[in-house]
């Protein structure tokens, strides 16, 4: 495993939930041993359509490589998908978070509450933007920020400027409760939606809750642009500042030539990436449906085993960037699936506050027991839309064999 949450991702906007196919037995009796030992089931399998290739070819022929109209079109389409007014494309999810934090007005030294159980980019973005991450513990069932823990931090400190919740594994954090706390304490909210393209709460897509939200389009995500990211927001001022920041602080009107009204960076997306993104966005609804179908397939067939399968709170629509199970037998299960040619991932085996790079930052290590326990117990199974019927049966068979051979 070379990377953190690097698993395939796709999701769909036309959200039908699935009926999970035709089989419903939980016993695994329908899982005839179809395993082909020569065909491992990968944890991720990014896929580009012929359409994406054609779009890229035509841009290459026209010599349109860097920023341009293709990027503006992708921004408009992605904002429409999220139900937000504005979007600013970026070079990756980390730079999207950095630009969003600058755009909502993060000042040097401002403290921002975030999750210790995420890819390190969530907290790194706060630091590189000049802020100070403050960790609050997670809910052990959803793996996302626990609003009660956030409230506890808010009661203890008076230097908090914002909250950066993470929609981990494709499941939305409890945005209604977190936004209420933000309103009460006059804080900004930047959603880290890097793993949750198309996830919803009560019919509203993630990205449309905070002052801004950020997505990653890394190849393993629910949709990809290669590398890439985007900030979405309903706030025109935030969009203007983000657009300026990603372009060296240029006058966001686009008429300023080399007038740099603010400090900024080059976090721009390329036209090639945007072209891939436009083709992928069209397929996101089908990708997410397939992920949900795969998840339901596993839910039904693993329910009787001594492991916890993912939860989907009432009103939430999970898009299964990861299908993450939990067991205190995690390392043994991981080795056993590896032997059976089933790829798995551990996202994440070291909580951020325990990372060496956070030694001087973490202040509340002793009070994050849920994040620490999750880091020892989670294991993600292949759930990407490229799984065949045989693949997912192979996964179920391998997990069941592990437990029955104990």
Ligand X SMILES: Cc1ncc(COP(=O)(O)O)c(C=O)c1O
The binding site for ligand X (CB under 6 A) comprises 4-5, 92-94, 118-119, 121-122, 166, 192, 194-195, 216, 218, 229
- Nearest Cα to Cα of residue 149 among 178, 120, 119: 178
Q: Which is nearer to ligand X, 12 or 165 (CB)?
A: 165
Please identify which residue in the block is written with the tokens 């590189």: 128
What's the min distance (Å) between Cβ of 342 and ligand X? 22
Q: Cα angle at 288 between 286 and 56, to 5 degrees?
A: 60
Residue 63 CB, nearest distance to ligand X (Å)? 26
Q: What is the largest CA-CA distance in the chain?
A: 68
Report in angstroms how near the CB of residue 122 gets to ligand X at its nearest.
5
* Shortest Å distance, C-beta 94 to ligand X: 3
Give me the residue label for tokens 């203890």: 156
Structure tokens given for 269: 């997306």
- Token pair listed for 229: 């990211």
**C-alpha angle 273/275/278, rounded to 5°?**
110
CA distances from residue 198 to 3, 21, 75, 207 in whole angstroms, order as listed: 23, 22, 15, 9
Q: How far is the CB of 224 from ligand X (least distance, A)?
A: 10
- Which DSSP helix (H) or strand (E) runs through 278? helix 271-302
Q: How many CB atoms lie within 10 A of CB 217?
A: 32
Query: Tokens 């996202």 identify what position?
Result: 347
Residue 287: name the closest of 119, 46, 51 by CA.
46
Nearer CB in complex with ligand X: 227/391:
227
Half-sphere exposure of 245 (CA within 13 A, CB side): 25
* Closest distance of CB 332 from ligand X, Å: 26
Phi, psi of 233 (to 5 degrees): -165, 155
Q: Which helix (H) or strand (E) holds 189?
A: strand 188-192
Cβ atoms of 392 and 334 within 8 Å: the answer is: no
DSSP three-state, residue 181:
helix
Question: Which residue, 31 or 269, is less far from ligand X as judged by CB?
Answer: 269
Instruction: Mark out the alpha helices in 104-207 (DSSP H runs).
Output: 121-128, 147-156, 175-185
Least distance from C-beta 229 to ligand X, angstroms? 5
Structure tokens at 95: 């730079």
Beta strands of 240-320 (E only): which ranges? 316-317
Smaller CB distance to ligand X: residue 3 or 30?
Answer: 3
Shortest distance in whole angstroms from residue 292 CB to ligand X: 19
Shortest distance, position 237 Cβ to ligand X, whole Å: 24
Within 10 A of 398 (CB to CB), how many other CB atoms are there? 22
Q: How far is the CB of 167 from ligand X (least distance, A)?
A: 8
3-state secondary structure of 160: strand
User: Taking a C-beta distance cutoff of 8 angstroms, is the pair 17, 295 a contact?
Assistant: no
């Amino acid at each position: 495993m070379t990377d953190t949450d690097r698993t395939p991702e796709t999701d769909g906007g036309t959200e039908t939930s699935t009926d999970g196919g035709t089989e419903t037995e939980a016993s695994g009796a329908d899982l005839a041993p179809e395993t082909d030992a020569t065909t491992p089931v990968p944890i991720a399998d990014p896929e580009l359509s012929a359409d994406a290739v054609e779009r890229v070819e035509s841009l290459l022929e026209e010599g349109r490589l860097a920023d341009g109209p293709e990027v503006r079109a992708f921004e408009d389409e992605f904002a429409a998908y999220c139900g937000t007014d504005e979007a600013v494309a970026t070079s990756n999810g980390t730079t999207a978070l950095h630009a969003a934090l600058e755009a909502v007005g993060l000042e040097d030294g401002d403290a921002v509450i975030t999750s210790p159980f995420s890819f390190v980019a969530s907290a790194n973005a706060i630091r590189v933007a000049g802020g100070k991450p403050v960790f609050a513990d997670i809910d052990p069932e959803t793996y996302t920020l626990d609003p009660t823990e956030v409230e506890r931090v808010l009661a203890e400190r008076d230097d908090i400027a914002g909250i950066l919740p993470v929609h981990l594994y494709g499941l939305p954090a409890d945005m209604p409760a977190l936004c209420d706390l933000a309103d009460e304490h006059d804080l900004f909210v930047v959603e880290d939606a890097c793993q949750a393209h198309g996830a919803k709460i009560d019919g509203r897509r993630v990205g449309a809750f905070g002052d801004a939200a950020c997505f990653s389009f890394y190849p393993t995500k629910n949709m990809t642009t290669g590398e890439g990211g985007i900030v979405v927001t309903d706030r025109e001022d935030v969009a203007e500042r983000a657009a300026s920041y990603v372009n060296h602080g240029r006058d966001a009107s686009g008429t300023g030539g080399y007038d740099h009204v603010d400090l900024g960076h080059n976090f721009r997306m390329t036209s090639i990436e945007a072209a891939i993104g436009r083709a992928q966005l069209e397929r996101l609804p089908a990708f997410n449906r397939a992920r949900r179908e795969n998840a339901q397939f596993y839910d039904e067939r693993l329910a009787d085993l001594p492991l916890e399968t993912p939860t989907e709170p009432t009103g939430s629509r999970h898009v299964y960037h990861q299908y993450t199970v939990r067991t205190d037998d995690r390392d043994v299960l991981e080795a056993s699936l590896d032997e059976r040619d089933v790829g798995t991932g551990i996202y994440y085996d070291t909580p951020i506050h325990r990372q060496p790079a956070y030694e001087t930052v973490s202040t509340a290590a002793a009070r994050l027991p849920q994040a620490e326990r999750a880091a020892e117990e989670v294991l993600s199974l292949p759930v990407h839309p490229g799984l065949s019927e045989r693949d997912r049966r192979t996964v179920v068979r391998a997990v069941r064999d592990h437990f029955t051979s104990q």
